[in-house]
């Protein structure tokens, strides 16, 4: 288990078993990147992969997509960082039947159902000295018990590469919107 401190994500899920982090430098000011994050839509590849996992893709922005898939906004510093979280047995074939949206951050922190896991995802926007922005997304998962950690490890070994590719594609799409390319 890893522990970190410093961001909203660190406050929400400081101890975790699995982590995926991706970052991209965006040639635009932070407020433009924040606006792009609110407007970006998932691409076709994301839609296809979610459908292959049996998940219905809600319409709308990334925030609407994630909340439609069972995530709750757990913390937010507008224009700087947003953290969304969910609980579930993500490795189940019919994942949508094994996900529960936490009522709030306290419910997320208190969650301890054996055989289940917690997942949290953040988007962070950090200004760089030259007027550009560092855009980061990080996903963390904590298994409530050893059985959940083992099951998630197998699941992650199968989908981790695709998950990373989707996150990189999302960062690219946000950057293109913020930079005025799309």
pLDDT of residue 1: 52
pLDDT of residue 3: 47
Tokens of 5: 């401190």
pLDDT value of residue 69: 82
Contacts of 17 (CB under 8 A, 6+ apart): 1, 2, 141, 142, 143, 149, 152
Per-residue pLDDT of the chain (182 residues; tens, 9 = 90+): 544 458 999 999 999 999 999 999 999 999 999 999 998 877 777 666 666 666 666 667 788 878 888 899 999 999 999 999 999 999 987 766 788 999 999 999 999 999 999 999 999 999 999 999 999 999 999 999 999 999 999 999 988 888 888 889 899 999 999 999 86
Residue 36: its pLDDT value, please? Answer: 95
Q: SS3 breakdown of the chain: % helix, strand, coil, rounded to 5?
A: 40, 30, 30
pTM of the full structure = 0.88
Residue 19 phi, psi (nearest 5): -150, 140
pLDDT of residue 6: 84
* C-alpha pair distances (Å), 33 with each of 36, 55, 135, 149, 150: 5, 28, 8, 35, 37
Instruction: Calculate ∠ Cα 24-90-174, nearest 5°.
Output: 20
pLDDT given for residue 52 in this prediction: 64
pLDDT of residue 58: 66
């Amino acid at each position: 288990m890893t522990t970190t401190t410093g961001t909203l994500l660190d406050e929400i899920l400081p101890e975790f078993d699995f982590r995926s982090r991706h970052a991209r430098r965006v040639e635009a000011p932070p407020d433009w990147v924040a606006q792009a994050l609110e407007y970006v839509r998932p691409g076709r590849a994301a839609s296809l992969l979610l459908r292959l996992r049996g998940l219905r893709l809600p319409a709308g922005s990334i925030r609407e997509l994630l909340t439609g898939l069972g995530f709750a906004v757990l913390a937010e510093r507008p224009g700087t960082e947003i953290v969304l979280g969910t609980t579930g047995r993500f490795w189940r074939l019919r994942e949508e039947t094994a996900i529960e949206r936490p009522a709030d951050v306290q419910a997320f922190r208190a969650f301890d159902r054996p055989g289940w896991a917690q997942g949290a995802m953040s988007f962070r926007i950090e200004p760089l000295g030259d007027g550009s922005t560092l855009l980061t997304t990080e996903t963390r998962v904590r298994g409530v018990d050893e059985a959940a950690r083992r099951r998630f490890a197998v699941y992650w070994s199968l989908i981790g590469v695709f998950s990373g590719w989707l996150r990189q594609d999302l960062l690219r799409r946000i950057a293109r919107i913020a930079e005025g390319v799309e």
